[in-house]
A and B are shown apart, each in its own frame.
Chain A
Protein backbone atom coordinates (compact mmCIF):
# COMPACT_ATOMS: atom_id res chain seq x y z
CA UNK A 1 0.00 0.00 0.00
CA UNK A 2 1.13 3.50 -0.74
CA UNK A 3 2.03 5.88 2.05
CA UNK A 4 3.08 9.49 2.44
CA UNK A 5 5.44 10.83 5.11
CA UNK A 6 5.76 14.50 5.93
CA UNK A 7 8.79 15.14 8.08
CA UNK A 8 8.03 17.59 10.86
CA UNK A 9 4.56 18.33 12.18
CA UNK A 10 5.66 21.96 12.70
CA UNK A 11 8.22 24.00 10.77
CA UNK A 12 9.21 27.49 11.86
CA UNK A 13 11.02 29.96 9.60
CA UNK A 14 11.72 33.67 9.72
CA UNK A 15 9.98 36.02 7.33
CA UNK A 16 12.09 36.26 4.18
CA UNK A 17 13.82 32.92 4.76
CA UNK A 18 13.65 29.81 2.60
CA UNK A 19 10.68 27.52 3.17
CA UNK A 20 11.30 23.78 2.82
CA UNK A 21 8.55 21.29 3.62
CA UNK A 22 9.45 17.65 3.16
CA UNK A 23 7.35 14.90 1.63
CA UNK A 24 8.36 11.32 0.88
CA UNK A 25 6.14 8.71 -0.66
CA UNK A 26 6.26 4.98 -1.15
CA UNK A 27 5.10 3.72 -4.50
CA UNK A 28 6.19 0.99 -6.88
CA UNK A 29 5.03 2.97 -9.91
CA UNK A 30 5.42 6.66 -10.79
CA UNK A 31 2.69 8.38 -8.80
CA UNK A 32 0.67 11.54 -9.14
CA UNK A 33 1.60 13.91 -6.33
CA UNK A 34 -0.09 16.96 -4.86
CA UNK A 35 0.51 19.71 -2.33
CA UNK A 36 -2.40 21.44 -0.63
CA UNK A 37 -2.58 24.36 1.78
CA UNK A 38 -5.16 24.86 4.51
CA UNK A 39 -5.67 28.17 6.30
CA UNK A 40 -7.41 28.09 9.70
CA UNK A 41 -11.05 27.06 9.55
CA UNK A 42 -11.01 26.78 5.77
CA UNK A 43 -11.00 23.98 3.24
CA UNK A 44 -7.89 22.76 1.47
CA UNK A 45 -6.63 24.57 -1.61
CA UNK A 46 -4.48 22.98 -4.31
CA UNK A 47 -0.99 24.49 -4.44
CA UNK A 48 0.48 22.35 -7.20
CA UNK A 49 0.45 18.88 -8.73
CA UNK A 50 2.89 16.53 -10.42
CA UNK A 51 1.47 14.35 -13.20
CA UNK A 52 4.63 12.92 -14.84
CA UNK A 53 5.47 15.94 -16.97
CA UNK A 54 8.26 18.31 -15.82
CA UNK A 55 9.91 17.23 -12.57
CA UNK A 56 9.99 20.82 -11.26
CA UNK A 57 6.45 21.99 -10.73
CA UNK A 58 5.49 25.59 -10.09
CA UNK A 59 2.39 26.39 -8.12
CA UNK A 60 0.48 29.32 -6.73
CA UNK A 61 1.80 31.88 -4.23
CA UNK A 62 5.44 31.38 -5.31
CA UNK A 63 5.69 27.74 -4.21
CA UNK A 64 7.33 25.02 -6.22
CA UNK A 65 8.14 21.34 -5.73
CA UNK A 66 10.60 18.96 -7.31
CA UNK A 67 9.84 15.32 -8.02
CA UNK A 68 12.89 13.14 -7.35
CA UNK A 69 12.20 9.53 -8.23
CA UNK A 70 15.52 8.24 -6.87
CA UNK A 71 14.73 9.75 -3.48
CA UNK A 72 10.95 9.14 -3.66
CA UNK A 73 10.53 12.75 -2.59
CA UNK A 74 8.37 15.71 -3.52
CA UNK A 75 9.56 18.53 -1.27
CA UNK A 76 7.83 21.92 -1.32
CA UNK A 77 9.90 25.09 -1.38
CA UNK A 78 9.51 28.85 -1.50
CA UNK A 79 12.53 31.15 -1.70
CA UNK A 80 11.25 33.82 0.66
CA UNK A 81 8.61 33.26 3.34
CA UNK A 82 5.83 35.75 3.88
CA UNK A 83 3.63 36.10 6.94
CA UNK A 84 0.63 35.12 4.80
CA UNK A 85 2.23 31.69 4.19
CA UNK A 86 1.44 30.62 7.76
CA UNK A 87 -0.89 27.65 7.31
CA UNK A 88 -0.94 23.87 7.32
CA UNK A 89 0.43 22.07 4.28
CA UNK A 90 -0.53 18.59 3.14
CA UNK A 91 1.21 16.31 0.68
CA UNK A 92 -0.84 13.62 -1.07
CA UNK A 93 -0.29 10.83 -3.58
CA UNK A 94 -2.91 9.38 -5.88
CA UNK A 95 -3.89 5.78 -5.28
CA UNK A 96 -4.06 4.58 -8.87
CA UNK A 97 -6.51 1.84 -8.05
CA UNK A 98 -9.51 3.75 -6.73
CA UNK A 99 -9.39 7.52 -7.26
CA UNK A 100 -8.44 8.15 -3.66
CA UNK A 101 -5.65 10.31 -2.36
CA UNK A 102 -3.26 9.04 0.30
CA UNK A 103 -2.54 11.95 2.64
CA UNK A 104 0.41 12.93 4.71
CA UNK A 105 -0.22 14.02 8.30
CA UNK A 106 0.36 17.68 7.47
CA UNK A 107 2.99 20.25 8.43
CA UNK A 108 2.12 23.50 10.15
CA UNK A 109 4.26 26.32 8.83
CA UNK A 110 4.97 29.08 11.34
CA UNK A 111 6.43 32.36 10.14
CA UNK A 112 8.43 34.40 12.64
CA UNK A 113 8.52 38.17 12.11
Chain B
Protein backbone atom coordinates (compact mmCIF):
# COMPACT_ATOMS: atom_id res chain seq x y z
CA UNK B 1 0.00 0.00 0.00
CA UNK B 2 1.03 3.60 -0.51
CA UNK B 3 2.29 5.78 2.31
CA UNK B 4 3.41 9.38 2.54
CA UNK B 5 5.93 10.66 5.03
CA UNK B 6 6.36 14.30 5.90
CA UNK B 7 8.76 15.80 8.41
CA UNK B 8 9.32 17.47 10.75
CA UNK B 9 5.94 17.61 12.47
CA UNK B 10 6.64 20.95 14.10
CA UNK B 11 9.25 23.61 13.49
CA UNK B 12 10.02 26.97 15.08
CA UNK B 13 12.35 29.15 13.05
CA UNK B 14 13.50 32.78 13.38
CA UNK B 15 12.78 35.34 10.69
CA UNK B 16 15.47 35.29 8.01
CA UNK B 17 16.49 31.68 8.58
CA UNK B 18 16.35 29.02 5.84
CA UNK B 19 13.72 26.31 5.56
CA UNK B 20 13.68 22.78 4.24
CA UNK B 21 10.64 20.51 4.53
CA UNK B 22 10.78 17.05 3.04
CA UNK B 23 8.12 14.68 1.81
CA UNK B 24 8.49 11.17 0.46
CA UNK B 25 5.98 8.72 -0.97
CA UNK B 26 6.27 4.95 -0.92
CA UNK B 27 4.43 2.25 -2.81
CA UNK B 28 3.74 4.09 -6.04
CA UNK B 29 5.69 5.44 -8.99
CA UNK B 30 5.50 8.71 -10.89
CA UNK B 31 2.95 10.31 -8.55
CA UNK B 32 1.78 13.89 -8.84
CA UNK B 33 3.11 15.74 -5.80
CA UNK B 34 1.74 18.85 -4.09
CA UNK B 35 2.61 21.35 -1.37
CA UNK B 36 -0.26 23.14 0.32
CA UNK B 37 -0.34 25.71 3.10
CA UNK B 38 -3.06 26.37 5.64
CA UNK B 39 -2.76 29.74 7.32
CA UNK B 40 -5.15 30.62 10.13
CA UNK B 41 -8.59 31.38 8.69
CA UNK B 42 -7.42 31.17 5.07
CA UNK B 43 -8.26 27.65 3.97
CA UNK B 44 -6.10 25.50 1.72
CA UNK B 45 -3.65 27.27 -0.58
CA UNK B 46 -1.84 25.32 -3.28
CA UNK B 47 1.80 26.39 -3.37
CA UNK B 48 3.47 23.99 -5.82
CA UNK B 49 2.71 20.86 -7.76
CA UNK B 50 4.81 18.49 -9.78
CA UNK B 51 3.90 15.91 -12.41
CA UNK B 52 7.44 14.54 -12.77
CA UNK B 53 11.07 14.83 -11.73
CA UNK B 54 12.31 18.38 -12.21
CA UNK B 55 8.85 19.61 -13.26
CA UNK B 56 7.55 22.17 -10.77
CA UNK B 57 4.60 24.50 -11.17
CA UNK B 58 4.28 27.45 -8.82
CA UNK B 59 0.85 28.73 -8.00
CA UNK B 60 1.66 31.64 -5.70
CA UNK B 61 4.59 34.09 -6.05
CA UNK B 62 6.51 34.13 -2.78
CA UNK B 63 9.86 33.46 -1.22
CA UNK B 64 9.30 29.69 -1.20
CA UNK B 65 10.57 27.21 -3.75
CA UNK B 66 10.10 23.50 -4.37
CA UNK B 67 12.23 20.78 -5.88
CA UNK B 68 11.71 17.19 -6.89
CA UNK B 69 15.15 15.56 -7.00
CA UNK B 70 13.75 12.02 -7.13
CA UNK B 71 10.51 10.50 -8.37
CA UNK B 72 8.93 10.20 -4.92
CA UNK B 73 10.65 13.04 -3.07
CA UNK B 74 9.35 16.58 -2.84
CA UNK B 75 11.13 19.35 -0.96
CA UNK B 76 9.87 22.79 0.07
CA UNK B 77 12.52 25.40 0.73
CA UNK B 78 13.12 29.00 1.57
CA UNK B 79 16.34 30.98 1.77
CA UNK B 80 14.93 33.53 4.22
CA UNK B 81 11.71 33.01 6.15
CA UNK B 82 9.20 35.77 6.72
CA UNK B 83 6.70 36.03 9.55
CA UNK B 84 3.95 35.50 6.99
CA UNK B 85 5.36 32.05 6.17
CA UNK B 86 3.95 30.69 9.42
CA UNK B 87 1.29 28.07 8.88
CA UNK B 88 0.50 24.41 8.49
CA UNK B 89 2.24 22.87 5.48
CA UNK B 90 0.81 19.79 3.86
CA UNK B 91 2.36 17.50 1.30
CA UNK B 92 0.10 15.34 -0.85
CA UNK B 93 0.30 12.91 -3.74
CA UNK B 94 -2.13 11.64 -6.36
CA UNK B 95 -2.12 9.36 -9.35
CA UNK B 96 -1.80 11.05 -12.74
CA UNK B 97 -5.51 11.09 -13.61
CA UNK B 98 -7.99 13.91 -13.11
CA UNK B 99 -10.36 11.94 -10.89
CA UNK B 100 -7.63 10.68 -8.59
CA UNK B 101 -8.02 11.94 -5.02
CA UNK B 102 -5.20 13.52 -3.08
CA UNK B 103 -3.54 11.64 -0.23
CA UNK B 104 -2.08 13.89 2.43
CA UNK B 105 0.78 13.66 4.86
CA UNK B 106 0.35 14.60 8.50
CA UNK B 107 1.60 18.13 7.98
CA UNK B 108 4.29 20.39 9.43
CA UNK B 109 3.35 23.20 11.80
CA UNK B 110 5.81 26.04 11.04
CA UNK B 111 6.05 29.01 13.37
CA UNK B 112 8.30 31.85 12.30
CA UNK B 113 9.31 34.06 15.23
Q: Please list the residues of chain A having a beta carbon within 8 angstroms of any beta carbon in chain B.
A: 32, 34, 36, 41-46, 49, 51, 90, 94-96, 99-101, 103-106
Residue pairs across A and B with Cβ atoms less than 8 A apart, 19 shown, are: A41-B88, A41-B109, A42-B107, A43-B92, A43-B104, A43-B105, A43-B107, A44-B92, A46-B101, A46-B102, A49-B99, A90-B44, A94-B99, A96-B98, A99-B32, A103-B43, A103-B44, A105-B43, A106-B44
Write out the residue numbers on chain A whose beta carbons fall within 8 Å of the beta carbon of B92: 43-44
Give Cα distance in the complex from A45 to B103, angstroms. 7
Write out the residue numbers on chain B whose beta carbons fall within 8 Å of the beta carbon of A101: 102
Q: Please list the residues of chain B having a beta carbon within 8 angstroms of any beta carbon in chain A.
A: 6, 32, 43-44, 46, 49, 51, 88, 90, 92, 94, 96, 98-99, 101-107, 109
Q: Interface SS of chain A: helix, strand, loop or mixed?
A: loop
Q: Interface SS of chain B: helix, strand, loop or mixed?
A: strand
